[in-house]
Amino acid sequence: MISQAIDNVTLMLMRGNIAEISADAIVNAANSALAGGGGVDGAIHRAAGPTVMQECRQIGHCRTGSAVVTTAGSLHARYIIHAVGPIYGHHADAAQLLASAYDACIDLAEKYQLESIAFPSLSTGAYGYPVVEAAPIALQTVIEHIGQAPTTLRQIAFVLFDERTFKIYAQELERILRPTP
Ligand code: ADP
């Protein structure tokens, strides 16, 4: 695990299953139909139980690059923020939409006055976004927000499933925080 203090916020990178994490909000890598699926979405809905899917059906839809909130069922969280990242190769403005999905989650976390949020690596599974391209966008978007005080968030975690994704995020964080001259 990597833990880095930035201003008043602790930014963490860890390996694991996001459905098992404790945080005020856990971010789901959802699809725009909020219909459930594999990967993060499957793990979260399996662990959260049927009430979350019922809420998703009622909400019905979420635009790519945006996010919606539900309760968290049996997860160790108060809320699930369902974020829809872009499909790589399908959305022309994929980088902008990916940043916008992370921004939408942070805006909702602030709106609900949450202190902790856990993100997966949005779009880098079924949606095909190369991790080397997605990691700098994910980290930069979150770090930019930390710079814009005041913020209720005190802990922001990226929960990364596999070693390769974790390593790329770790390298990218190092590069952002300690750029070589
Ligand atoms: P998307 O459809 O947005 O690409 P996926 O869920 O398919 O979302 O994958 C996003 C990333 O999350 C991938 O890097 C994948 O390996 C990873 N992942 C899959 N399952 C989990 C999980 N349970 N916890 C955390 N990350 C996961």
CATH of the domain at 155: 3.40.220.10
Compute the distance between CA of residue 9 and CA of residue 95 in angstroms, rounded to an integer.
Answer: 25
Pocket of ligand 1 contains residue 118 by CB under 6 Å:
no
Give the sign of the dihedral formed by CA 108, CA 110, CA 115, CA 119.
positive
Distance 19 CA to ligand 1 centre (A): 11
Give the residue, out of 40, 127, 167, with the most ligand 1 atoms within 8 A of its beta carbon, to mutate for a pocket test.
40
Q: What is the pLDDT of residue 75?
A: 98
Strand partners, 68: 82
Strand partners, 95: none
Ligand 1 atom closest to 85 (CA): 3
DSSP string, 142-175: HHHHHHS---S--EEEEEESSHHHHHHHHHHHHH
Q: Count other C-beta atoms under 10 Å from residue 3's C-beta.
A: 11
Ligand 1 atom closest to 41 (CA): 6
7 noted as active-site residue: no
Pocket of ligand 1 contains residue 94 by CB under 6 Å:
no
* Domains identified in the chain, total number: 1
Range of the structural domain that residue 40 is part of: 2-177
Ligand 1 atom closest to 159 (CA): 25
DSSP-derived pairing of the beta strands 67-71 and 77-83: antiparallel
Tokens representing 175 are 């590069």
Distance 121 CA to ligand 1 centre (A): 6
pLDDT in tens, the chain (181 residues): 999 999 999 999 999 999 999 999 999 999 999 999 999 999 999 999 999 999 999 999 999 999 999 999 999 999 999 999 999 999 899 999 999 999 999 999 999 999 999 999 999 999 999 999 999 999 999 999 998 867 899 999 999 999 999 999 999 999 999 877 6
Distance 79 CA to ligand 1 centre (A): 18
Pocket of ligand 1 contains residue 20 by CB under 6 Å:
no
Distance 181 CA to ligand 1 centre (A): 34
Do residues 72 and 48 touch, judged by C-beta distance below 8 A? yes
Omega before residue 181 within 30° of 0, cis: no
Tokens representing 121 are 């690596």
